[in-house]
Structures are given as C-alpha cells and as structure tokens.
A and B are shown apart, each in its own frame.
Chain A
Amino acid sequence: MADLKRSQKSAPKPSFINDPKVRGLFYQFVVMAVVIAFVYVVAKNTAANLAAQNKSTGFDFFFQASGFDIFFTLIPYDRASYYWEAFVVGMLNTLLVSVIGIFLAAILGFILGIARLSNNWIIAKLAMVYVEILRNVPLLLQLFLWYTVLLKTLPGVKNSLEWFGAFVLNNRGLYIPKPMPDATFNWVIITFLIAVAGAFALKYWAKKRLEQTGNRFPVFWSSIGLLVGLPAIVWLVSGANLAFEMPTLQGFNYKGGLSLPSEFMALLLGLVLYTAAFIAEIVRSGIAAVDKGQTEAAQSLGLKDGDRLRLVIIPQAMRVIIPPLTSQFLNLTKNSSLAAAIGYPDLVSVFMLTTLNQTGRAVEIVFITMMVYLILSLVTSAFMNWYNARVAMVER
C-alpha cells in the first residue's frame, strides 16, 4: 500500500543517461557540432582555394561596367552599364516570362482540365492525349524542340508573315505595334484604374444587396461597361491621342514596334504548354473531388447550371485546387531558368552564366541567385497561403 502511494506521488525517475530530455539535448548538440564543423571546413577550404587561385571576393563588382550586350531588355541597358543593371535586366526578364506564362498556363490548364471531364468523347480524349504526352517529356527537351521548330519552320525576315501591316512574324520573333501615348492619355489610364476600383466596389455592394434583399445585380456586364465606357468617354472628351509605332522593314531587319524574340516565344510556349498539362490534372482532380451530392443538392435547390458551377462546385473545388496550383506557379517560375539553355537572357543566363564567367565571383553570384529564387518562392507561397486561408472551408 505504501509502495502504491509513493508511485502515485511521482513517476519513477529514470537514470540520468536514459532521461529522454537529456538524450534529446545530447543528440541536438551532436547534430549542431557536426553541422558547424562541416560549415567550418567548407568555409576554410573555400577561402584557401580562392586564395590559391588569386581570386578576389566581395560584391564590389556590382559597380563595374559589364561590357556585354543583352539583346532583350525592359530597361535601357548597354555594354557600359553596371553589373547591377545587368542583374536587374535579368530579373525583369525572368519576371516577365513568369508572369505572362503563369497567366496563360492557368487559362489553358483550366480549359484542358474541364475538357478532360467533358461528356464529349473526342474532346475528353484529346485533352487526355495532350496531358499524357506533354507531362512525360522533359521540359528542357520541349524547349529545344519548340526553339528548333520556330527557327526552322517560320520564314526568314524577307518572307515574314504579316497581318494588317501591324503584326509581323518571322524566325527572329514576333513584332507587334508599340503604343505611343501622349501626355493627356495618362488621364485615360487613371480613369481606367478608377473604373477597376469602381468595379470591385460594385461587386461588394451587389453581394451585400443580394444577401439583404435577394435581388441580383448584373455585376459582370455592368463592370465591363464601367471598365470600357468610362475610359472611352474620358478619351473622347479629353482628345487624348494614342498613336502606334508599327514595325517596318529597314534593311535586313524589322525596326520599331515591340519585338518579342524567338527565344522568348519558344520559352513562353514551352513553359505554358508544359505547365498547363499539370494544371489540367490538378483542376480535373479538384472538380472530381467535389461530392456528387453537392451537384444534386444544388439542382434540388433549383439553381441554374451556370450558378451551380459558379456558386457551389467551383468554390469547393478551388479549396482542393489552390495548394497544388501554387506549387505549379512556383514551378513555372523556377523552370523559366531553363531559358539559359536556349539563350533567352533571364536571371540565370545573364547573371549566373555571363556575369559569373566574366567576374569569377562564384560564391557571391550563386548565393545571390539562389536568394532571389528563395525570396520569390517565399513571397508567392505567403500570398497563396493568405488566399488559401481566405477561401478555406469555414466549419461549424
């Protein structure tokens, strides 16, 4: 009896060596020591190697003239520009192709994902064949293939394909008219931004009204009217002028307009087609994950087909779709680094290849490049987590 009482008072104390807490601390100490030792040895070796190769270190190279040209830049840049400008050019090019790619891949992916679930046999099978082919071939190979196809099958400069005298396509790229707004046109742009804000306010108001009165307001069409009408009125009233600079053949090449080089087109094509195949699968499984009872419940409530999809099915499917979709968007951004292989001047190509070769600052440049992608990933996933939390199921 006395023994029982004592054991109830306090648990039997294990010996010092067997105490899980002590052991945990010990193991962590060992792991820490191994990692620190590893980092120390690596750092020491690196310093010794760099010293042996007479290589200087540091980030001062950022303010030296780069001395190389980049054929596709969003900001003014030439060979007298600094390395940090080259870095910015590369980063902007990466962002450009990623943003456009994500936008197009999402659209194509949703269309393909819905097509795979279509009742129509031909459409469903076509989508399936597309997905199974595209996602089982390495992206790098697809990029090479598209690049070669663009270069070999599109006509040369002299036989360029022209549409309306404004769009020109040849094996050097796509040329489109460049908008040249005058000073007053800024007011049209400002009005457009106001109209965007107005459309959001309208949507908010319409939702409130729907909840209170049950009456619907045609948000979509009125928003379109707002977005198109308001800037159009300001445009006409203010007399702003929007001229277009057309691409024209001068000598051996097209000058003027906006030019999108073949490298950009091939990269965009490859990224969009490849990622769309994965997004299609995500969308398909997301829609398939919504219980059939939800469709039946929506029908029994008397919702129209469009409303059923918009109000019942898609919001629930989105919860399943968003997390993997985020990682696909990130994948597309990371895969845009394959640009280096076909010569599109993205961050990796400009910074990690050319700049590294010229300056030899391997450690610094690899570190910075990785940090850029790391930050890009963290920002995107933070945003997507926020969005995901917003649409997450509110359970009772």
Chain B
Amino acid sequence: MAKKYLAYIRKEIVPEQPAPIASKGIVGWARQNLFSSISNTIMTLAGMAFLLWILPPLYNFIFGNAVWPGEGVTVEDCRAKGAGACWAYIDSRMTFFIYGFFPKDAYWVTQEGFIASIMTYWRVNAVFAVGTLLLVPLMWPGLPHKVLNAILFFVVYPVFVFFMLTGGVFGLEEVPTIKWGGLTVTLIIGLVGIVVSLPLGIVLALGRQSKMPIVKGMSIMFIEVWRAVPLITVLFMASVMLPLFMPVGMTIDKLLRALVGVSLFSAAYMAEVVRGGLQALPKGQFEAAASLGLNYWKSMSFIILPQALKHVIPGIVNSFIALFKDTSLVAIVGIFDLLRAVQISNLNLDWGSKNQAITGYIFAAVVFWAFCFSMSRYSIMMEKRLDTGHRN
C-alpha cells in the first residue's frame, strides 16, 4: 500500500492578480452599464446617436456661434448669417431685466466704476443683500436662533422691503409700484406669496382638521375651490373683480391685486401640505398634549405644529418652487416681472435680429431654472437630514 503524498504544497501566498481588464476601470464600467446585453447595447447606441444629433447644434447656438458682449460688438454681429445666441443683447438689457424702470440714484448714476454701478440701484440692491443675509442662516441647518431669524425674515424683512422700495419716508424718493420691474418684482411676489400663504395655509389646515362642522366646511370649500381653478383665472378675478369689491371711488394697486391672487391661491396648496404633516403625526401626540391640560392653541403651537411643520419642510419648499414658477403668470395681467421684462425687450428693435427672442427666453429660463433647481436640491437635502430613520 503506497503512501499517498500530496504532489504539491504551496508555501507562500500567491500575489494578488489585477482584476481582468474587462471588469474594472472604465471598460468594466462600460460593459456593466452600457453594453451588458444586446438590447442594452442598442439603447446605448440610440442614446449616443441622440446626443450626437442634439448636442453639436445646441453647443454651436449657445456657445460656438454665439455673439458675446465685448468691445465693438453691435447688433450687426447678431444679424449676421449663421450667428447663434445674441448674448450681447442680454448684456445690454441686464439692468432692465433686474430692476425694471426703478429710478436710478441721482448722484451715483453720474459716477463711474463697479461701486457706482451697484450704488445706482442701491435701494433695490440693499433689499437683495439684507434678504440674502437673513435667508442663508435661516436655511443653514446647524445655525442657532432659528426662531429669531424666522421672525426677522418673515415679519421684519417684508416691512423693510416695503419702505425701502416704495420710499416716501426717511427722505427716500417715493417710487410707485408701476416702476418696479424685472427680477425684483418676481422675487417680491415670491416673498409675499410665501410670507402670506404659510400662516394662512396653517390656519386653513387646522380649520380642515377641526371638529367644528362650519369651520371645517368653510376651510374645505376655500381649499378645494382655489385648487380646482387655474391660477390665471384667479389672477383675472383679482385684477378685474377686486376693484369692484372695494368701496366706491377707492382704487387698489395693480401689483397688490396680483399679490392677493397669488397669496390666496398658494395658501390653498400650502394648507394641503401642512395637512399632510398634521395627519402624519401619531395620535398619541394629540392625546399627550390634551392630557397635559394644554388648551387648543397651546397644544397646537407647542406640541403639534413644531413637529408637523418640521416633517413637511420639503413639501413646503416644493410648493414654494411651484409658487415661484407661477409668479411668471402675472405677466399676463400686465405686471412687470422678469418674464414680461424679457418679452418687452424682445420687441426692442435696437437689438432686432432673428435670435433675439429665443435668446431672451433662454436667459429667463436659465434664471428661473437656477432658482428652482437650487431650491429643489435644498428640499432633497432637508429630506435626508430630517429622515431620522424611525417611522411610526
């Protein structure tokens, strides 16, 4: 009986081999994500063909053949055959797009340089600057004093904006709202919309959850009617019928009419978002508040709403995005927002060329997109932060 010997015993560990070239790096990634099967390969090729079809003309229009602002660039360059987007036109109308017909400061308009160009519209720019200073810490999750900050932004700041822009006090020149325009008005409508619609929405949501049938019925009616009709009809109603509702002889500012329409409209949507938060709260919270002997308003403001609102911050931001996009509709009832400013400028013959209107709209689209996209990213970030992982 022969002894069995293992023919070979490995004494040292085999050095690690690199992964096959087909399964690592860019090749492996491509094989896995682009060419994993026949249908996948066909889709990849179709996608690439689509990109090849759409990207070069798009690039040429927006960058390659575009006319950029600079020394000696005139409208003739934009009218030239094969010219792309006319960015020089946007550049020349930029202050109009941002400030509309807001009067320039008498002293600074005569000065030159960067500081003078900011100070020419210092009242509007101050509004922008203070707004940014208040908004950034409010949205920054880790920073303290949120309540004080919120009060400053939602209560004090609108008052500041009002006096800063309308003037007539502290020696500021009075500016009628007709002269406001451009991005300023778009942002103001957005701001007023959120400042009014959030508290109103909370009240309506509480009303809808109320046990009192009349209060509940009226809240439901208000919410459902506003949500069922298009904003444009609401704006028309505001601009045509609000003057009729006032006592005889009293007029109501055109911008104010639009503001009322937008605010009521978005309050109905806000109410549904807040209701979602209220309904998501476990019943135990309501019972706990009641067993502590708190009355309705105390239990709402100390126990229920802080939790409910925190839950729906992403929803609130989302409905604010919708509100911000909807502000563009005021252009139809003759308010001078960013879109209307672009539309008016597009008719300006000084820069009259084939691509003038398209360039203007693309510029407005990029501005709106930048605002809305950053808000939606913020909403997603907050959703992740607020998701504590324990759900009931």
Q: Which of A45, A120, A136 contacts B40 (CB 8 A)?
A: A120
Given A31-B215, A122-B34, A141-B328, A45 and B248 touching (CB < 8 A)? yes
Give the residue among B40, B230, B373, B376 with the most A Cβ atoms within 10 A. Answer: B230
A148 pairs with B230, CB closer than 8 A: no
Task: Report the bound CA distance from A31 to B364 in whole Å.
Answer: 44
A294 within 8 Å of B (CB atoms): no
A249 interfacial by beta-carbon distance below 8 Å: no
Top-7 shortest CB links A-B: A377-B228, A122-B47, A136-B372, A334-B230, A121-B33, A138-B328, A138-B325
Cα–Cα, bound, A245→B317 (Å): 53
B330 to chain A, nearest CB (A): 10
Inside 8 A of B34's CB, which chain A residues have their CB? Answer: 120-122
Contact flags A331-354 to B (C-beta < 8 A → 1, else 0): 000110110110000001000100
For residue A133, which residues in chain B have a CB less than 8 angstroms away from its CB?
A: 369
Chain A 355-378 against B: per-residue CB contact (8 Å), 1 yes, 0 no?
A: 010000011001001100110111
23 A-B pairs (CB sep. < 8 Å): A24-B211, A24-B212, A27-B212, A32-B214, A49-B246, A118-B43, A136-B321, A136-B372, A140-B332, A141-B339, A141-B364, A148-B357, A152-B355, A334-B229, A337-B230, A337-B232, A362-B240, A370-B225, A370-B229, A373-B228, A373-B229, A374-B228, A377-B228
Return the contact of A378 from the options B47, B228, B237 (Cβ within 8 A). B228
A77 in the interface (beta carbon within 8 A):
no
* Closest partner residue, chain B, to A327 (CB atom): B227
Residue numbers of A with Cβ under 8 A of B are: 24, 27-28, 31-32, 35, 42, 45-46, 48-50, 52, 118-123, 126, 132-133, 136-142, 144-145, 148-149, 152, 330, 334-335, 337-338, 340-341, 348, 352, 356, 362-363, 366, 369-370, 373-374, 376-378
Chain B nearest CB, measured from A80 CB (Å): 27
Q: Chain A residue with minimal CB distance to B243?
A: A49
- Distance in angstroms from B295 CB to nearest chain A CB is 10
Whether the pair A362, B244 counts as a contact (CB closer than 8 A) is yes
Given contacts A120-B47, A362-B241, contact A137 B232 (CB under 8 A): no
- A138: which B residues are within 8 A, CB to CB? 325-329, 339, 368
Would B214 and A152 count as touching, CB distance under 8 A?
A: no
User: A138–B342 Cα gap in the complex (Å)?
Assistant: 14
**Once the chains bind, are B244 and A50 in contact (CB under 8 Å)?**
yes
Question: CB distance A27 to B358 under 8 Å?
Answer: no
Q: Tell me the complex Cα distance, A338–B51, Å.
A: 31
- Least CB distance, A157 to chain B, in whole angstroms: 18
- Given A335-B230, A378-B228, verify A136-B373 contact (CB < 8 Å): yes
Tell me which residues across on chain A come within 8 A of B233, comparing CB atoms.
337, 348, 352, 366, 369-370, 373
Kindly state whether residue B285 has any CB partner on chain A within 8 Å: no
> A340-B332, A348-B233 given as contacts; is B365 within 8 A of A35 (CB)?
no
Which chain A residue lies CB-closest to B332? A341
Q: Residue B23 at the A interface, CB < 8 A?
A: no
Counting CB contacts under 8 A, is B92 at the interface?
no
Interface size range of chain B in the complex: 35 or more
Beyond the given A35-B218, A140-B328, A141-B328, could you list 11 further A-B residue pairs with CB under 8 A, ordered by the A residue number? A31-B218, A45-B245, A45-B247, A48-B248, A122-B47, A136-B321, A136-B368, A152-B355, A338-B332, A373-B228, A374-B228
B331 surroundings in chain A (CB, below 8 A) = 140, 341
Choose among B241, B243, B358 the residue that contacts A148 (Cβ–Cβ < 8 A): B358
B245 touches A139 (CB 8 A): no
Name the one of A50, A120, A148 contacting B33, with C-beta atoms under 8 angstroms.
A120
Chain B residues near A126 (CB, 8 Å)?
47, 50-51
- Assembled-state Cα–Cα distance A152/B360 (Å): 14
What is the CB-to-nearest-CB distance from A73 to chain B, in angstroms, rounded to a whole number?
Answer: 21
Chain B residues whose CB sits within 8 angstroms of the CB of A50 once the complex forms: 244
In the complex, B44 has a CB within 8 A of chain A: yes
* B185-204 at interface with A (beta carbon < 8 Å): none
B344-368: CB near A (< 8 Å → 1, else 0) gives 0000000000110110011011001
Given known pairs A52-B248, A123-B43, the reply for A137 and B369 (CB within 8 Å) is yes
